[in-house]
């Protein structure tokens, strides 16, 4: 175990160097394969596998392994031109170096186009990227074939007349090498694990058996000459079968095998691609290889794209079904919520109806109970009329009048509360100056004393304020009447300040009356609560004020000091 750790560290240290060595070896082996498939009597090669090998290895291993391509290409070219007659060592090295540089630049250009233009290291999942890969392959082959042609022309191996033919065949050979080897290598490297399905396995065996049967039929059949000439066409259905039913690896493996077999038999002057001239035979084979390779790649990309779309559609349908279920559940919850709300609303309406009925009964009972004392007061008045003592008459009248006014105020407050609870808020134009003046005029006789009243009113209003006039009048009437009623034995002074600011009415009512003790301030808005028994009212005034302000969405604050007076602040928003 101790010896393994230094070995692993050594491998990690020289990992890139090992990759470069592997790339150089694979390039050299693929170059040997290309030379072994060369046609006699030609300087060009039918297929140049190193172009596809180098392109695929740069994509898989990264740009850092490009020296391996240069090394492999240099070794392959030195071996290829070693026995060329009339070629000096300097020219041999120069040609090999130039061709190696061109072939390295070809592979690097392909990688740049794949990463910058196609932007996908595996462009065979969509037809758009597949066609871009084909165009990139056509373009990048110009670099390698052009460099090779110029180098051989400069060395005198090819002349000006054959330069164009050599460039064309070298360009086609490099392109065919890319079409055959690059997709297959990238597809094999992409498969992390192989899953064998029995139906697919049976179908693959049937396909292989069919291909074997076709080859036997060609070899021993009655119409073998016809089948041999028809082989290029008979192979296409099998490639379609593999492209549609299997993956790119299976289809390209069969295409590669068929291409190598076609080249081998054509070199041996056997098969449908044999022509009079070797270059014509090679071009015929190259066209066949290019057609089946491009068709297989495009068909596989179409199938992969369709499969991806189907998978996305299944996911979309699954997500849509989940969304529908969630929405259905949400709607059910909303329906249940609405049912609960309707039940609560019905219960609230029933409770409100009950409260309104109780309030009606209360108002009726109170008004009835208060009218009975008034009847008694009227009887006392009659008794007072029979008493001839003037002093006693005036005393009776004053007490009866005070009691009647208190009872009348109590009835009015009860009716105001009932009306405030029943009536909707009514939006009207409000001008505070006449409203406050009207309130003071109505309260002029709120006290039986002859003490004069000093009022100081400051109103800052440049435009109409919209609110409920009756409710505002109820609020002001109760607050100002309290200021008058609970005076402190001296001339009452009441200050009223009104300011309209940003659709709000800010009202302050300040008096110099008795004031309210601190212990009472927290409860002055409770129904029937009295802070004092001296000259006390019904205990409903401030309760009605608060209830009315809630209807107007307003607020009230009271500051008071016993013996010095009270300050009431109102903030009432304008009705929308």
Cα 493 to chain center, whole Å? 66
Q: Which helix (H) or strand (E) holds 83?
A: none
Stretch 26-53: mean pLDDT: 83
CA dist 409 and 497 (Å) reads 26
Q: Which two tokens stand for residue 188?
A: 């094999």
Shortest CA distance to 363 belongs to which of 307, 313, 310, 422? 422
Stretch 365-370: mean pLDDT: 54
C-alpha atoms less than 13 angstroms from C-alpha of 543 in its C-beta half-sphere: 18
- Measured in degrees and rounded to the nearest 5, phi and psi for residue 449 equal -80, 160
Q: Does the pLDDT at position 388 exceed 60?
A: yes
- Measured in degrees and rounded to the nearest 5, phi and psi for residue 223 equal -110, 45
**Which of 50-54, 165-169, 177-181 is least confident?**
165-169
- Strands 454-460 and 493-500, by their bridges, are parallel
Q: How confident is the model at residue 4 (pLDDT cuts 50, 70, 90)?
A: very low
Q: Which residues contact 399 (CB under 8 A, 6 or more apart)?
A: none
Q: Which two tokens stand for residue 502?
A: 């940003």
Q: Is 542 in a helix, a strand, or coil?
A: helix
Contact between 480 and 439 under an 8 Å Cβ cutoff? The reply is: yes
Task: Using alpha carbons, list the distances in angstroms from residue 501 to 428, 506, 526, 565.
Answer: 18, 7, 30, 27
Q: Does the pLDDT at position 534 exceed 70?
A: no
pLDDT at 410: 61
Q: Which two tokens stand for residue 358?
A: 């109780």
pLDDT at 47: 85
196-210, 234-248, 391-405: which is most confident:
234-248
Q: How confident is the model at residue 236 (pLDDT cuts 50, 70, 90)?
A: confident
Q: Does the pLDDT at position 363 exceed 70?
A: no
Shortest CA distance to 179 belongs to which of 137, 222, 212, 147? 137
CA dist 490 and 276 (Å) reads 138
Q: Which two tokens stand for residue 262?
A: 């076609």
pLDDT at 426: 81
Strand segments, DSSP code E, in 256-414 are none
pLDDT at 25: 92
Shortest CA distance to 263 belongs to which of 76, 26, 40? 40
- The CATH architecture one would assign to domain 1-191 is Orthogonal Bundle (1.10)
Contact between 178 and 157 under an 8 Å Cβ cutoff? The reply is: no
Q: Does the pLDDT at position 53 exceed 60?
A: yes
Sign of dihedral through CA atoms 202, 206, 209, 215? negative
CA dist 287 and 35 (Å) reads 19
Shortest CA distance to 381 belongs to which of 372, 393, 364, 368? 393
Stretch 149-157: mean pLDDT: 84
Contact between 96 and 77 under an 8 Å Cβ cutoff? The reply is: yes
Q: Does the pLDDT at position 1 exceed 50?
A: no
Stretch 169-179: mean pLDDT: 89
List the Cα angle 39/40/42 in 5-degree steps. 75
Contact between 54 and 103 under an 8 Å Cβ cutoff? The reply is: yes
Stretch 60-75: mean pLDDT: 88
Q: How confident is the model at residue 2 (pLDDT cuts 50, 70, 90)?
A: very low
Share of the chain above pLDDT 70, in %: 75
Stretch 367-378: mean pLDDT: 61
Q: Does the pLDDT at position 448 exceed 50?
A: no
CA dist 482 and 480 (Å) reads 5
Q: Which residues contact 428 (CB under 8 A, 6 or more apart)?
A: 466, 467, 468, 469
CATH 3.30.565.10 region(s) of the chain?
Answer: 425-573
CA dist 95 and 92 (Å) reads 5
Share of the chain above pLDDT 90, in %: 3
Sign of dihedral through CA atoms 35, 36, 38, 43? positive
Q: Is 240 in a helix, a strand, or coil?
A: helix
**Which of 26-30, 178-182, 219-223, 346-350 is least confident?**
219-223
Q: Is 26 in a helix, a strand, or coil?
A: helix
**Which of 87-91, 115-119, 180-184, 210-214 is least confident?**
210-214
Contact between 553 and 573 under an 8 Å Cβ cutoff? The reply is: yes
Q: Give the CATH class of 425-573.
A: alpha beta
pLDDT at 154: 85
Higher pLDDT, residue 51 or 474: 51
CA dist 505 and 549 (Å) reads 12
- Measured in degrees and rounded to the nearest 5, phi and psi for residue 555 equal -135, 155
| DSSP track, 293-329 | HHHHHHHHHHHHHHHHHHHHHHHHHHHHHHHHHHHHH
- Measured in degrees and rounded to the nearest 5, phi and psi for residue 458 equal -125, 120
CATH 1.10.1760 region(s) of the chain?
Answer: 1-191
pLDDT at 486: 78
Average pLDDT across the chain, whole number: 78
**Which of 50-54, 80-84, 510-514 is least confident?**
80-84
Q: Which residues contact 85 (CB under 8 A, 6 or more apart)?
A: none
Q: Which helix (H) or strand (E) holds 407?
A: helix 390-422
């Amino acid at each position: 175990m101790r010896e393994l750790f230094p070995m692993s560290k050594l491998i990690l240290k020289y990992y890139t160097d090992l990759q470069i060595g592997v790339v150089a070896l694979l390039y050299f082996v693929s170059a040997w394969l290309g030379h072994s498939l060369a046609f006699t009597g030609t300087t060009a090669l039918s297929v140049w596998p190193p172009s596809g090998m180098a392109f695929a290895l740069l994509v898989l291993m990264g740009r850092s392994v490009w020296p391996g391509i240069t090394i492999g290409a240099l070794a392959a070219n030195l071996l290829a031109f070693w026995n060329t007659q009339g070629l000096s060592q300097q020219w041999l090295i120069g040609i090999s170096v130039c061709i190696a540089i061109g072939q390295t630049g070809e592979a690097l250009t392909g990688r740049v186009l794949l990463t910058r233009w196609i932007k996908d290291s595996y462009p065979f999942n969509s037809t758009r990227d597949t066609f871009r890969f084909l165009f990139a392959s056509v373009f990048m082959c110009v670099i390698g074939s052009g460099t090779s042609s110029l180098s051989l022309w400069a060395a005198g191996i090819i002349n000006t007349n054959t330069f164009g033919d050599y460039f064309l065949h070298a360009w086609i050979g490099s392109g065919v090498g890319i079409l055959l080897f690059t997709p297959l290598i990238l597809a094999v490297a992409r498969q992390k694990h192989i899953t064998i399905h029995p139906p697919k396995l049976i179908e693959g065996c049937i396909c292989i058996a069919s291909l074997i049967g076709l080859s036997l039929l060609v070899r021993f059949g009655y119409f073998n000459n016809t089948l041999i000439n028809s082989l290029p066409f008979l192979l296409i259905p099998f490639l379609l079968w593999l492209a549609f039913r299997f993956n790119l690896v299976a289809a390209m493996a069969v295409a590669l095998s068929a291409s190598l077999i076609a080249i081998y038999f054509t070199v041996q002057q056997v098969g449908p691609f044999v022509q009079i001239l070797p270059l014509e035979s090679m071009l015929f084979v190259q066209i066949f290889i290019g057609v089946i390779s491009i068709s297989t790649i495009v068909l596989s990309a179409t199938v992969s794209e369709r499969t991806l779309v189907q998978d996305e559609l299944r996911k979309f349908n699954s997500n849509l079904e989940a969304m529908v279920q969630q929405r259905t559940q949400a709607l059910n919850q909303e329906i249940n919520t609405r049912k609960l709300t309707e039940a609560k609303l019905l219960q609230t309406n029933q409770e409100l109806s009950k409260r309104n009925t109780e309030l009606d009964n209360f108002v009726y009972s109170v008004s009835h109970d208060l009218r009975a004392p008034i009847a008694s007061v009227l009887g006392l008045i009659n008794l007072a009329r029979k008493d001839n003592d003037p002093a006693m008459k005036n005393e009776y009248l004053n007490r009866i009048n005070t009691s009647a006014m208190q009872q009348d105020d109590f009835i009015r407050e009860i009716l105001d509360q009932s009306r405030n609870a029943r009536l909707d808020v009514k939006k009207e134009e409000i001008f505070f100056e006449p409203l406050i003046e009207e309130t003071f005029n109505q309260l002029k006789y709120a006290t039986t004393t002859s003490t004069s009243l000093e009022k100081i009113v400051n109103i800052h209003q440049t435009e109409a304020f919209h609110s409920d006039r009756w409710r505002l009048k109820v609020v002001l009437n109760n607050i100002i009447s309290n200021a008058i009623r609970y005076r402190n034995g001296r001339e009452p002074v009441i200050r009223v300040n009104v300011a309209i600011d940003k659709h709000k009415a800010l009202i302050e009512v300040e008096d110099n009356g008795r004031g309210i003790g601190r212990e009472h301030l927290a409860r002055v808005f409770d129904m029937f609560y009295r802070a004092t028994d001296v000259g006390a009212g019904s205990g409903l005034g401030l309760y009605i004020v608060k209830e009315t302000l809630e209807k107007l969405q307003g607020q009230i604050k009271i500051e008071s000091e016993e013996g010095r007076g009270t300050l009431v602040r109102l903030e009432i928003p304008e009705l929308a």
